[in-house]
Amino acid sequence: MKRVNTILFLLFLLLGETVIAQNITITGVVSDKLGPVPGASIVVKGTKTGLTTDLEGRFSITVAPNAQLVISCMGYKPVTIDVKGSRHKEVTLHEMTQNLDEVVVVGYGSMKKRDITGAIVSVSAKDIESSQPIDLSTALQGKISGLDIMTSSEPGSSSTFRIRGTSTLSEGGSNPLFVVDGMEVDNIDDLNPRDIASVEVLKDAASTAIYGSRSANGVVIITTKQGESSKPRISVNYALTQSSISKTLPQMNRMQGLEYEALRSYMSGGKATSISRDSLNPMKIEDHNYQDLIFRTAYTHQLDASIAGAEKKVKYYLSLGYLGAEGIQINTYNKRLSSRINVTYDATPRLSIGSRIYLALTNQRKATSESRNRIFQRPANYPIYAPDGSFLENIGNISNPVAESVMGKNDYRKYTANIYEYIQYSFTKNLVLKSSIAANFNLEKYARFRPEILTTDKRRSAINKETLYSGWTHEDVLTYSKKFKSGHNMTLMGGFSLRESNVDVTGLSVTDNITDALEISNTFEGVNMNDTKATWSRNRMSSFFGRASYSYKSRYLFNSNLRYDGSSRFGRDNRWAFFPSVSLGWRFSDEKFLKWAQPVLHDGKLRVSYGVTGNQAAGDFASLGLYTTNYYADSPGIYPNQLSNVNLGWEETKQTNIGLDIMFLDGRISLNVDYYNKKTNDVLYKVPLPQTCGFSSSFKNVGDVENKGWEIAVSSDNIQTKNFSWSTNLSLSFNKNMIVSIPEGGRQIVNNVFLIDQGYAVGTIYGWKAKGIFPYTESNAFTPEWKQLTPVFDEKDHFVRYELDGKEYTGDIKKMTANNAVLEGGDVMWDDVNKDGVIDAEDRQVLGCGQPKVTGGFNNEFTYKGLTLSFFFTFAFGGDVYNAYEQIRSEHRWSSLNRGNPINIANSWKAPGDIAKFPRPIGTLAQDNTRAESSLWVEDGSYIRLKNIRLAYTLPKKWAKKIKMESVSVSAMMQNFFTWTNYSGFDPEVPGTGFAIGNDSRSYPRSKELLFGLNVNF
């Protein structure tokens, strides 16, 4: 028996040794293009056996000799390798262009990207920070199809956001809703881009309906950073930017100005005065280019530092940022100091408490509106300084442009505090309650001062105004989610919200300050009582909302949002409104009948959605009858200024969206296409009222606005090797806007040229069309059918006869008139729409539209090891710009001290027979050749801009560690250096306001920038 046991024991040892001999140990290193990748997952395929790489990216694992290893890491494409061959593996991971398991923030929750059924675009912190932006609008411009952002180079200026066109006729209602860490805010001007972890843009009604009444223009959700790793991470970023004006405009020099005076005098029937010809006159001998004096090379310093980490129960992110931005116009700047504290505390396994606090102090000086006007109005030969070195005062009611920029005060100081606190309790792993309260405070202090030297009547004036924006929001959200083993997933969410907003304004406006040394409303003699007052406003909203989501194996998807809102802004019978939406998704790439396409088709999803969203962009008391104050002499009084409208209600937008998402070749190529049809009903609109009623306008629910179009986004990893990669991204947006209906009497013309009427797009430019300039007085000759005749002259330029189609004409002759004056040689030949020979209001027509037909962006990025080169284009086609700048200085109707555009003057009519583009330079004629409502001032605003070229280098991780740093990168970038356009003004990208989309009126010039950046992480 002992012999048998011995044999069995020996056999057991032999079999054990055989089994052990069958296992092998594999070692290796996992890296990316920059170096080792710590924390990468190494899993034996088909099992749960695995481990993660260490800080140096190394791993060691014992497996069977025929096993396969799956190496993966968040943000990288997974790699599968065989263990056969060498027992040491060098594995290189490549970043994913599209990660379907990436979590996307949606309203009151989050979802995996693969389960999204609405039109949502997500932008990561990496994409935002790559352009070293000082504000978020600059970082997003041109990168998201369907999102049109109009920016300005003026430091601290607000940008205009439009998602899928303009869907309302309310002047204050076109911007989307901004949500920062769950808190609704009115603007994001002061937000530090370095604090942002991700931005989600919600474009269709299925995605935005959960926000109900404030989501008709789309929603932008911003999530800020928080700590993740257990080890504290310190990050320091510094950027230095040099800015200069990208384009200057033609301006008359001394001699051109004197010749212009002589020309105007001659054209008016006079002759040049002796002073105009006196080159020794002290008021005529200087020669200034005011653009060289007003605009400068400016510098911007941006310094940001942050620390983020996580302990056992606490996650934290703390940041401090400073921005000191000089404007390219002298004496303009924006300084911002900001701080953010984000903390999450897991008190128990079920209870979490979170806090988000943002504080900012902003000090901004804007240029006075007069300063840029005077650049082109004041003669170049006039002195700037008096003999004693002080600024020369006004001449002919035109102030000194340099004095305007230096001495004119136009200051804004802002204090911002946003606080968001929440508590979250998990009853079970599937049932979670989150209760939050948010408060925001924004105190804006405005100060304006006009010293004696800048005024015509030598009376100083000052304005001091304080505006306090405050509000709070309370929300309770209960979420139930369940994953079933059979592949079914379900999420139910319901919530309640209360919101209040307040605005308090206190203003003091005074005149006759006793000295220029006191630039505040103090020590004055007179008070402007119309601007000296205190006002207060408030609105409240109560809401109930919910969402139901279902998916089966992420193949069949369903989402539905419901919201029920009540607003204090509307009449009692219409305060509440219901905003539903539904969306469906089908991942057809997972169907069995498409298995044959899987080597090429990586993922494919079809999306369909429909929903209703709202807008409450009316005044806080828009439904009530209101009174206001006024003064007669020194006697105060009140009078009614707004009619009540108890039926005033919500503006509703109904939107249908059809989308297609396709990825090819393991995600290397992706295509996203969306078609949308968005119609806004019961538009909130200030309808003009007859003057006889005593009121100018009243808010009503009238009219319909429609937007429909296509959005296309393409991304591609063109080349991807161990050390080199090349990727491309393209976004395109096509939008068609139209006012479908408007009430009788609602037709308006804004700023003299922008038409609001049924059948036209918002931003339509309306006026008289110039067909040319009459070369001769005899050229104003037409047949009774209004066919133009050709005058014939002899060799001495004496008129001989008229011809029509090459044959002599002897019939009746008609002449065109304007303002009861017969048009002559050098006058504009207008398009006579109704063919009656009289140019009047009946001949006005559409001259263009400020809304472009196509917008987009195109980006290419090349990387070689740690070196990255990228260039990014933005473009817009089909939009027009009304050049109000040019119209003002080409009127020729003011005093001889005003100066015109030398190029336009060179192309103006001066003598009989001239073939010219512009009329004779006389502005006092009854014919009104240089009227504002003219096609002469409408230009094509299409452009292609090389937005930036960026070169960056990241040190290899092993080098960075030698100097005790986690990573170090440096970058250099050129921004706005190259723009291709036919527009003659400063820049075709004009920030639109209200209905005046494409109106270039005293706009701040575009700057071109050289930027140098340094990023260090510890």
pLDDT tens digits for range 243-274 = 999 999 999 988 888 888 888 888 877 665 55
Q: Which amino acid is it at 482?
A: K
667: left (phi over 0), alpha (psi -120 to 50) or beta: left
pLDDT for the residue numbered 302:
95
Coil/strand/helix, residue 572: helix
pLDDT for the residue numbered 979:
95
Give the C-alpha separation, 579 to 561, whole Å. Answer: 8
Max mean pLDDT among 175-184, 400-409, 472-481, 638-647 falls in 472-481
Contact 464, 441 (CB under 8 A): no
pLDDT band for position 108 (cuts 50, 70, 90): confident
What stretch of H or E contains 18? helix 2-22
Give the C-alpha separation, 524 to 168, whole Å. Answer: 44
What percent of the chain is modeled with pLDDT above 90?
42
Q: Residue 230 above 70 pLDDT?
A: no
Query: 381-390: which pairs have CB atoms within 8 A and are 24 or more residues apart?
Result: 381/254, 381/257, 381/258, 381/283, 381/284, 381/285, 381/286, 381/287, 381/288, 382/283, 382/286, 382/288, 383/282, 383/283, 383/286, 384/286, 384/288, 384/293, 390/453
Largest CA distance in the chain: 143
Q: Which two tokens stand for residue 553?
A: 């194996």
190: left (phi over 0), alpha (psi -120 to 50) or beta: alpha
Q: Which two tokens stand for residue 303?
A: 């310094």
Q: Which two tokens stand for residue 155?
A: 């430091």
pLDDT for the residue numbered 581:
93
pLDDT for the residue numbered 633:
64
Lowest-pLDDT range, 80-94, 592-606, 651-665? 80-94
Contact 97, 670 (CB under 8 A): yes
DSSP secondary structure, 166-201, as one string: -----TT--SPEEEETTEEES--TT--GGGEEEEEE
pLDDT for the residue numbered 388:
85
Query: What's the CATH superfamily of 21-95?
Result: Carboxypeptidase-like, regulatory domain (2.60.40.1120)
E-assigned strands of 633-668?
635-642, 651-664
pLDDT for the residue numbered 9:
47
Coil/strand/helix, residue 181: coil
951 pairs with which residues across the strands? 869, 972
pLDDT for the residue numbered 114:
78
Contact 196, 881 (CB under 8 A): no
E-assigned strands of 768-813?
770-773, 790-793, 799-804, 807-809
Q: Residue 694 above 80 pLDDT?
A: no
Name the pairing type of β-strands 799-804 and 790-793: antiparallel
Residue pLDDT, tens place only, 722-778: 889 999 999 999 999 999 988 777 788 888 899 988 999 989 999 999 999 999 999
Give the C-alpha separation, 500 to 318, whole Å. Answer: 29
Contact 128, 193 (CB under 8 A): yes
- For the entire predicted model, the pTM comes to 0.85
Instruction: Provide the mean pLDDT of the chain.
Output: 86
CA-only gyration radius of the chain, Å: 34
Q: Residue 516 above 70 pLDDT?
A: yes
| CATH topology identical between 21-95 and 103-233 | no
pLDDT for the residue numbered 651:
84
User: Average pLDDT of 114-126?
Assistant: 84
pLDDT band for position 280 (cuts 50, 70, 90): low
Please classify residue 467 by burial: count the beta carbons closer than 10 Å to its beta carbon, then call 0-12 exposed, 13-18 middle and 19+ buried: middle
Give the C-alpha separation, 528 to 547, whole Å. Answer: 54
Give the C-alpha separation, 572 to 566, whole Å. Answer: 10
pLDDT band for position 172 (cuts 50, 70, 90): low
Lowest-pLDDT range, 110-114, 179-183, 831-835? 110-114
195: left (phi over 0), alpha (psi -120 to 50) or beta: alpha
pLDDT band for position 96 (cuts 50, 70, 90): low
Nearest of 620, 419, 420 to residue 503 by alpha carbon: 620
Q: Residue 78 above 70 pLDDT?
A: yes
Rounded to 10 degrees, what is the CA torsion of 781, 784, 790, 795?
-60
What stretch of H or E contains 259? helix 254-267
User: Average pLDDT of 222-226?
Assistant: 89
pLDDT for the residue numbered 173:
60
Give the C-alpha separation, 771 to 791, whole Å. Answer: 18
First to last CA, the chain: 69
Q: Residue 16 above 50 pLDDT?
A: no
Q: Residue 511 above 80 pLDDT?
A: yes
Give the number of C-alpha atoms closer than 13 A to the C-alpha of residue 245, restricted to the C-beta side.
Answer: 18
pLDDT band for position 660 (cuts 50, 70, 90): very high
Per-residue CA distances from 867 to 726, 953, 972 (Å): 12, 5, 12
pLDDT for the residue numbered 7:
46
183-185 β-sheet, strand order:
120-124, 196-202, 219-224, 177-180, 183-185
pLDDT for the residue numbered 11:
42
User: Where is pLDDT greater, at 602 or 268?
Assistant: 602
Contact 205, 655 (CB under 8 A): yes
Max mean pLDDT among 360-369, 375-384, 524-533 falls in 360-369
263 φ, ψ (degrees, to nearest 5): -65, -45
90: left (phi over 0), alpha (psi -120 to 50) or beta: beta
Residue with tokens 């009227």: 931
User: Average pLDDT of 488-517?
Assistant: 88
308 pairs with which residues across the strands? 233, 317
Q: Which two tokens stand for residue 282?
A: 């002290």
pLDDT for the residue numbered 326:
94
DSSP secondary structure, 55-122, as one string: TTSEEEEEE-TT-EEEEE-TTB--EEEE--S-SEEEEE--B-S--TT-EEEETTEEEEGGG--S-EEE
Give the C-alpha separation, 43 to 72, whole Å. Answer: 9
Per-residue CA distances from 793 to 79, 811, 814 (Å): 85, 18, 19
pLDDT for the residue numbered 283:
67
pLDDT for the residue numbered 866:
87
User: Average pLDDT of 882-911?
Assistant: 84
Q: Which two tokens stand for residue 244?
A: 């200069």
Length of the chain: 1018
Contact 762, 705 (CB under 8 A): yes
Q: Residue 20 above 60 pLDDT?
A: no
Give the C-alpha separation, 428 to 760, whole Å. Answer: 56
pLDDT for the residue numbered 867:
92
Give the C-alpha separation, 653 to 651, whole Å. Answer: 7
Coil/strand/helix, residue 778: helix
pLDDT for the residue numbered 897:
66
Q: Which amino acid is it at 889?
A: R
Neighbouring residues of 210: CB distance < 8 A, sequence distance ≥ 6: 106, 107, 108, 545, 547, 561, 563, 581
Q: Residue 174 above 80 pLDDT?
A: no
Coil/strand/helix, residue 403: helix
821-822 β-sheet, strand order:
821-822, 817-818, 838-839
Question: Residue 35: how many CB atoms within 10 A of its CB?
Answer: 21
User: Where is pLDDT greater, at 926 or 281?
Assistant: 926
CATH fold of the domain at 103-233:
Ferric Hydroxamate Uptake Protein; Chain A, domain 1 (2.170.130)
- For the chain, the domains span 21-95, 103-233, 769-843+894-907
Residue pLDDT, tens place only, 294-322: 999 999 999 999 999 888 889 999 999 99
Q: Residue 99 above 70 pLDDT?
A: no
E-assigned strands of 878-956?
880-883, 938-940, 943-954
Residue pLDDT, tens place only, 949-998: 999 998 888 888 888 888 889 999 999 999 999 999 999 998 766 678 88
Question: Residue 789: how many CB atoms within 10 A of its CB?
Answer: 20
pLDDT for the residue numbered 656:
94
Contact 540, 504 (CB under 8 A): no
